[in-house]
Amino acid sequence: MMKEIYPFATFSPNKLDFQNARDLEWLLPNGLGGYSSSTILGLNTRKYHGLLISASENLARWVCLQKLDEEIHAGRDVVCLGTNHYKDGKITEGYRNLERFEFNYDTVSFFYDTEHAGVSKHISTIPEKNGVTVLYNIKNRSGIGIEFRINLMINSRNIYDIMKEGSINFESKILDNKIIGIRSNNRYLTVFSDKAVCSENKGDGWNRNVFYSVDCERGEDCVEDMYLPAYFTIRIAPKERDTFTIIALGYDTEGKTANAFRELQGEKKTKSRMLSGNLGTSILTLLTAADSFVVKRNSKKTVISGYHWFADWGRDAMISLPGLTLINGRYGDAELILEHFLNHASKNGIPTRLVDGKPEYYDVDSSLWMIDRLYQYARYVGSEKAKEFLHTYWWTVLKDIMNHYLGMEKDGLLLHNFGTWMDTLKRENTVEIQGLWYNALKIMERFSDIMGEEIVDTNINEICERFEKNFIRKFWNDEYLNDCINDNSLRPNQVIPISLEFNVIDESKAKKILDIVEKELLTPYGLRTLNRGNPAYKGIYSGNPQEREKAYHNGTIWPWLLGPYIKAYMRFHGNRTHARKLLEPLFEKHIKEVGIGTISEIFDGDFPHKPRGCISQAWSVAELLRAYFEDVMGKKPGFEI
């Protein structure tokens, strides 16, 4: 007997106030970097929302199919199920017919209840294809026949842009009565149905002045027009029920779209990843969310840093690697991600980020994190497997990177004037870079043993001795570690060194650090980036990009920092119950508040700590999962290196 399937989260939008319902967002990834995303009302509040966002091989993402808005035609009555916000303040009220919304891991479902019909709409992306499937189930309750109409709202732009009428040339053609092809300057979209009939839109073909309220709040372009070339219809007899699908596929060329269509026609339906009720926990949901960040990149894999707008960044990928791939045994994916970034390494290190497939280099810590994550990988798979992975080529790349860093060394410390994760601030000779540097030196010693080869012309032991002599003298201020050699700001970066495998901070000092961080920076959702008593503190992340930047690393809360904090806390205090409680607000509350089933990028430093930034951030999810499994549950790597 089959188990009943329960959703992870269910909402009754009309029992919430409009604002709260508007703020609840969902996202379904496709494994290529594309996705489907909106709110539980079906109201798009960001330019990043869309039913089909396709991704190219270089992770450029394009809005292809903005929405499907439905209407029920019963005699002279027309009931609209779609909800849109317009520049003049008008909001179409299809959401008032929305009885229930469900989030179910790889599917979202909308349930509408009207006088004439009950309608369910189930949306899922197509794994590893730029496609989306929408399954409709309609029950005609009336004594007359009804026509169910699905209006296509088309776009063809980068996720960062806005489309205006006339800015893009469209050419649409109904290929038979159930398939339409839509060509634009840069995309080709195919939409087809198994039962519904496609007809040309006889109107002027545009939905104008659609307003994105969240983008407006962020000081970004927020008004656009959508192309309306056609609609699908199906007729349902009195008291009858019917089920049908709409499928959309969108790529940069007609040939790629046609190939995806042929492949889809030949594939069998895959089973849903929905979990039964007794397994529907927040941890399993976050493990599913973790899958969304690991995407194909040519023959390798990479990490999407955050949805909706980030692509792949070296630092984010490395910090996220254990929580996305090691704790769940996806060692092959870990290798492909590491190889992706090592393939683009220069003598200065791995890329800071890749933009349209081209690497950019302007940080100092991504490669230090990479060395640590290679070590964590080795601790999971063992020295023999690690040696096999490093082999001659990657080992040579690592040595070249270390030689670059050695040119920056003085008195054992790594001197730098740029390139930290707090990239909105100018921070020189920072505490976390020193911690990562010392950790990397010690790891390279162990890698030398594994590879059976010393690092030529380098006495790592002497550098470590100089570091051990000078680090505490230059950074310790009797209460905590300075953020930089010449800056005693109280920031969370000092937690990173005491969380690493190799560090020079003794237990007494480490406990003092944890105590002051708990008192001044710890919140229910992560660590503040600056204490509230500092004149530079900004407790609200809002306004235009310039205003937001002032708060981004000056008080804003970052959940990912709970990962190193919990690791250090368990190392020096060991209270597993308390560590678990630190995760509960995010795992049990926040996971159903904004991006359903995932964790936001940042939160306001001030109460009530409103979530901000990306609704789903890789290192937020990854580091908290890692902390839960490794530190709270004690599921440590199986090898000592």
CA–CA–CA angle 42, 597, 191 (5° rounding): 40
535-562 confidence digits (pLDDT tens) = 999 999 999 999 999 999 999 999 999 9
Burial of 418 (C-beta count, 10 Å sphere; 0-12/13-18/19+): exposed
Rounded CA-CA distance 525/558 in Å is 7
Given a cut of 90, is residue 86 above it in pLDDT?
yes
Residue 463 region, left (φ>0) first, then alpha (ψ -120 to 50), else beta? alpha
The pLDDT value given to residue 104:
87
Rounded CA-CA distance 593/589 in Å is 7
The pLDDT value given to residue 281:
64
| Cβ-contact 28, 616 below 8 angstroms | no
556-584 confidence digits (pLDDT tens) = 999 999 999 999 999 999 999 999 999 99
The pLDDT value given to residue 283:
87
Structure tokens at 16: 């919430």
Given a cut of 50, is residue 637 above it in pLDDT?
yes
More confident residue, 9 or 548: 548
Helices (H), 573-635: 576-584, 618-626
Given a cut of 70, is residue 363 above it in pLDDT?
yes
Residue tagged 């670059």 (tokens)? 404
CATH number at 9-266: 2.70.98
Is there a common fold for 9-266 and 281-632?
no
Element of type H or E holding 63: strand 61-74
DSSP 3-state assignment of 520?
helix
**Rg of the chain, C-alpha, whole Å:** 26
- Report the percentage of the chain scoring pLDDT > 70: 96
The pLDDT value given to residue 278:
30
Number of neighbours of residue 625 by Cβ within 10 angstroms: 25
| Cβ-contact 168, 157 below 8 angstroms | yes
Residue tagged 């198994």 (tokens)? 194
Rounded CA-CA distance 372/367 in Å is 9
Length, in residues, of the chain: 641
Among residues 531, 528, 499, which one has the least CA distance to residue 369?
A: 499
Identify the weakest region by mean pLDDT among 12-16, 169-173, 219-223, 348-352: 12-16
Structure tokens at 259: 């190939």
The pLDDT value given to residue 274:
30
Mean pLDDT confidence for 185-192: 94
The pLDDT value given to residue 53:
98
Q: Domain 281-632 falls in which CATH fold? A: Glycosyltransferase (1.50.10)
Residue 271 region, left (φ>0) first, then alpha (ψ -120 to 50), else beta? beta
Given a cut of 70, is residue 413 above it in pLDDT?
yes
Element of type H or E holding 135: strand 131-140
Q: What is the DSSP string of 181-207?
A: EEE-SS-EEEEEESSPEEEE--S--EE
The domain ranges of the chain are 9-266, 281-632
| Cβ-contact 234, 244 below 8 angstroms | yes
220-258 confidence digits (pLDDT tens) = 999 999 999 999 999 999 999 999 999 999 999 999 999
Number of neighbours of residue 466 by Cβ within 10 angstroms: 14
| Cβ-contact 22, 39 below 8 angstroms | yes
| Cβ-contact 91, 44 below 8 angstroms | no
Rounded CA-CA distance 21/85 in Å is 14
The pLDDT value given to residue 273:
34
Number of neighbours of residue 19 by Cβ within 10 angstroms: 8
Residue tagged 């060394």 (tokens)? 409
Rounded CA-CA distance 466/265 in Å is 65
The pLDDT value given to residue 137:
96
Q: Compute φ and ψ for 98, nearest 5 degrees.
A: -85, 110
Among residues 377, 292, 296, which one has the least CA distance to residue 334?
A: 377
294-336 confidence digits (pLDDT tens) = 999 888 999 999 999 999 999 999 999 999 999 999 999 999 9
Task: Report the C-alpha dihedral over residues 520, 521, 522, 526, rounded to 10 degrees.
Answer: 170
Q: What is the pTM of this model?
A: 0.90
Residue 328 region, left (φ>0) first, then alpha (ψ -120 to 50), else beta? alpha
Among residues 108, 110, 105, 106, which one has the least CA distance to residue 126?
A: 106
DSSP 3-state assignment of 487?
strand
* Cis peptide upstream of residue 564 (ω within 30 degrees of 0): no
Q: What is the DSSP string of 398-461?
A: HHHHHHHHHTTEETTEE--SS--S-TTS---SBHHHHHHHHHHHHHHHHHHHHHT---TT--HH
Mean pLDDT confidence for 582-592: 94
Among residues 569, 483, 561, which one has the least CA distance to residue 521?
A: 561
| Cβ-contact 572, 499 below 8 angstroms | no
Q: Which pLDDT band holds residue 6 (cuts at 50, 70, 90)?
A: low
Q: Which pLDDT band holds residue 105 (cuts at 50, 70, 90)?
A: confident
Structure tokens at 416: 């730098």
Given a cut of 80, is residue 408 above it in pLDDT?
yes
Mean pLDDT confidence for 413-436: 96
261-300 confidence digits (pLDDT tens) = 888 877 644 333 332 233 236 888 899 899 999 999 888 9
Supply the mean pLDDT for the chain.
93
